């Protein structure tokens, strides 16, 4: 079957680094996405990985290992505005239009 | 910038009412989606459409229908609202097969069914 797991909640300190993990099982992997969602708002796109390795974009980086069914989102120099939920989603080759979504990780940043 | 708008941010309806949720995108995207989002669960796909007048069932289509008469507009219909349809409803759009990287979301409609 298809399944995505990520921690429910994490807490980190302003200025620190945090890593949010995502593991997935899918029959035909075709890309992994990370989205950020502030409370009461729509998800916004952060990153996309389809090949193994690290993709860096400013303070945010995303890593993928297809053989391990594993990804992480790395947030550096944390700011209070990074308090949000982070959603991991995987596209399955069976349908190019559909994403399978994790339940999201709520990240709480403390001063 | 891509803009996806939804007709209402908050909606309160009574059990048995017919409910229409409207979504409009202004970037000529082929694909449009309706999700619901509930605490502790991931986004769950209700229906999607990859072209005008085309629709495909997602994971949880029961109790819902959709309409796509124009490319920019995708409507979600609750034929007879029930309390278990109280949820946040999110509409999204994405370009056609030339770029499958991202989905762009509307602000969401928080629906309460009494």
Which tens digits make up the pLDDT trace of A9-18?
999 999 999 9
Question: What is the model's pLDDT at position B40?
Answer: 82
Average pLDDT, chain A: 92
pLDDT of residue A1: 62
Q: How far apart are CA B32 and CA B94, in angstroms?
A: 6
Q: What is the pLDDT of residue A12?
A: 97
In the predicted model, is pLDDT for residue B90 greater than 90? yes
d(CA B103, CA B114): 31
Q: Which of B42, B6, B17 is nearest to B112 (CA)?
A: B17
Tokens of A108: 């709480």
Mean pLDDT of A69-78: 97
Q: Do A31 and B101 touch (CB under 8 A)?
A: yes
Answer whether B90 sits within 8 Å of A43, measured CB to CB: yes
- Is the CB of residue A98 less than 8 Å from the CB of residue A3? no
Q: What's the rounded Cα separation, in Å, for the pair A14 and A11?
A: 10
The answer to whether A17 touches A82, Cβ cutoff 8 Å, is no
Task: Kindly list the residues from chain B whose CB atom is less than 8 angstroms away from the CB atom of residue A41.
Answer: 107-108
């Amino acid at each position: 079957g298809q399944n995505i797991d990520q921690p429910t909640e994490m807490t980190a300190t302003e200025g620190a680094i945090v890593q949010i993990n995502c593991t997935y099982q899918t029959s035909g992997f075709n890309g992994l996405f990370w989205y950020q969602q502030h409370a009461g708002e729509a998800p916004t796109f952060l990153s996309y990985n389809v090949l193994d390795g690290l993709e860096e974009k400013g303070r945010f980086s995303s890593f993928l290992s297809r053989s391990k069914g594993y990804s992480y989102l790395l947030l550096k120099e944390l700011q209070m505005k990074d308090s949000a939920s982070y959603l991991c989603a995987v596209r399955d080759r069976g349908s190019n239009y559909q994403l399978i979504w994790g339940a999201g990780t709520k990240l709480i940043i403390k001063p | 910038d891509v803009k996806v708008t939804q007709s209402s941010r908050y909606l309160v309806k009574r059990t048995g009412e017919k409910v229409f949720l409207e979504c409009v995108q202004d970037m000529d995207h082929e694909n449009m989606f309706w999700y619901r989002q509930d605490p502790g669960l991931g986004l769950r796909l209700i229906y999607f459409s990859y072209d005008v007048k085309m629709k495909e069932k997602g994971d949880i289509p029961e109790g819902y229908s959709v309409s796509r008469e124009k490319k920019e507009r995708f409507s979600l219909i609750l034929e007879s609202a029930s309390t278990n349809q109280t949820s946040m409803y999110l509409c999204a759009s994405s370009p056609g097969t030339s770029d499958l990287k991202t989905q762009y979301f509307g602000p969401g409609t928080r629906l309460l069914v009494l």
